[in-house]
Structure 1
Amino acid sequence: MRFTGMRTAKAGAAALVAVPLALGGMASQSRAQDASPSPSGTFGPGCAGISQKASTAKDKVTEAAAAYPQLSQLVSAAVRARLSGTLDEKSPITVFAPDDQAFQKVTASQLTSLLQNQGQLKKVLTYHVVDQQITPNELSHGSFTTVEGGKLTTSGSGTDFKVNGKANIVCGNIKAANATIYVIDSVLQPPSS
């Protein structure tokens, strides 16, 4: 009986340690509000509302994104554009990941047209990916070349950042095995060629 109680206590202690780890450092979010975010923790006003099915630090980016129900439309679009394998093979990368609410801002006709044109869908999605790891410290005045080939910019300070002057980073610095993910509230459009 004593052995079982000790095993239960150890399991309980392990669970207490695992919960903050599984939340990707969301516990540090309240401290991050006062100071510049650290590359080791998540930040942003939407982190508390972003739920995940499991810890994503050891998962490739597509599987990591699929763990977040709020990124289901992005994951579906990446699968439709046949980008999953491509993104999972790149390392390290940064993904500015539009959440499901971002896709709701796109008109139904625009979204239908985009989803039916694999080439254009791939172009739009790869515009959200930078072929390097971007830390929170690089976001205040950043200019980055995307996998699509266009440039995107980041600006802001503390825990308040924008991409291309319009998309807010609602939760940033989420770790995957080969990527850093910044969840944004708008779908970015690549510059016209």
Structure 2
Amino acid sequence: MRNSQLALVGAAVAAFALTACSANDKASTANPATTTTTTTTTTAQAMADGVTKTTDVFGAGCAGVPQDAKDEGSLQGMADDPVATAASNNPLLTKLVAAVKAANLVDTLNSQSAITVFAPADPAFAELGDAKFTELAGQPETLGKILQFHVVGKRYDADGLRAAGTVKALTGQDLKVEGSGTTMTVNGAPVLCGNIPTKNATVFVIGKVLTPPAA
């Protein structure tokens, strides 16, 4: 009789142990799944906002940006300023800055919360010729439309642009993005230096002034 009682007690203990192990196994498998989901969501959020760091920039044209971090035109200096102010300190973009001022768009660009700017480098404006540039500078409305065709009302990094394929400029017209990295183009214009961070925009220096299609 005593042996039978001992056997029953032993079986009960074994059953309890198995139940406890099963519960622990479920708990241990649940936590990694929760962690993975949280991590994935956080990563997706980081990618979706289009914000970049100075270490994310790419392109041969970046060599023309001042390298001294104390220089306001350097990548570090530009990162803290709104986009029009940041561009005004960059030696690659003196013609663009003059055009933005002529079109009275400095405050408009600086006040945006999150935009993408395709910024033609000085040689791109030089291809227009001094006479054409002077003519456009005297037509703020026309010049303003051209410049707004270089701005997207959402902030993208290079990966975001590549994934989107087509983005819409402030003029309401489409800009086609092709390639990736150093082969990326926007409406056929090569990206010379991409993923430049500013306070309210991600900037891509391009090698051509984009012309809006006729309405």
Place the TM-score, normalised by the shorter chain, in its bin.
Answer: 0.7 to 0.9
Quickly say closer, same or farther: Cα 1:47–1:191, change in 2 above 3 A. same
Following TM superposition, by how much is the alpha carbon of 1:45 offset from its aligned partner in structure 2, in angstroms?
1.5
**Which letter maps to 1:49?**
G
Following TM superposition, by how much is the alpha carbon of 1:143 offset from its aligned partner in structure 2, in angstroms?
0.7
Runs of 4+ in structure 1 deviating by more than 3 angstroms, as ranges, are: none
Which blocks of at least 5 consecutive residues in structure 2 are unaligned?
Answer: 1-50
1:88 aligns with 2:110: yes
2:60 is aligned, of 45, 52, 61, to 45
Question: Normalising to structure 1: TM-score of the pair?
Answer: 0.75
Q: What secondary structure, in the 3-state scheme, does the structure 1 residue paired with 2:60 have? A: coil
Structure 2 equivalent of residue 126 of structure 1: 148
Following TM superposition, by how much is the alpha carbon of 1:87 offset from its aligned partner in structure 2, in angstroms?
0.7
2:175 is aligned, of 142, 152, 161, to 152
1:168 aligns with 2:209: no
Following TM superposition, by how much is the alpha carbon of 1:39 offset from its aligned partner in structure 2, in angstroms?
4.7
Following TM superposition, by how much is the alpha carbon of 1:126 offset from its aligned partner in structure 2, in angstroms?
0.6
Percent identity between the aligned chains? 41
Structure 2 equivalent of residue 21 of structure 1: none
Which blocks of at least 5 consecutive residues in structure 1 are unaligned?
Answer: 1-37
Question: Residues 98 and 183 of structure 1 are in contact (CA less than 8 Å); yes or no, is this contact kept in structure 2?
Answer: yes
Question: Higher Cα Rg: structure 1 or 2?
Answer: 2
Q: What secondary structure, in the 3-state scheme, does the structure 2 residue paired with 1:140 have? A: helix
Higher helix share: 2
Task: Name the CA distance, whole Å, in 2 between partners of 1:164 and 1:182.
Answer: 13
1:58 is aligned, of 80, 84, 89, to 80
Structure 1 equivalent of residue 37 of structure 2: none
Structure 1 equivalent of residue 15 of structure 2: none
Question: Residues 99 and 137 of structure 2 are in contact (CA less than 8 Å); yes or no, is this contact kept in structure 1?
Answer: yes
Higher strand share: 1
Task: Name the CA distance, whole Å, in 2 between partners of 1:158 and 1:77.
Answer: 28
Count matched residues.
Answer: 155
1:140 is aligned, of 157, 162, 165, to 162
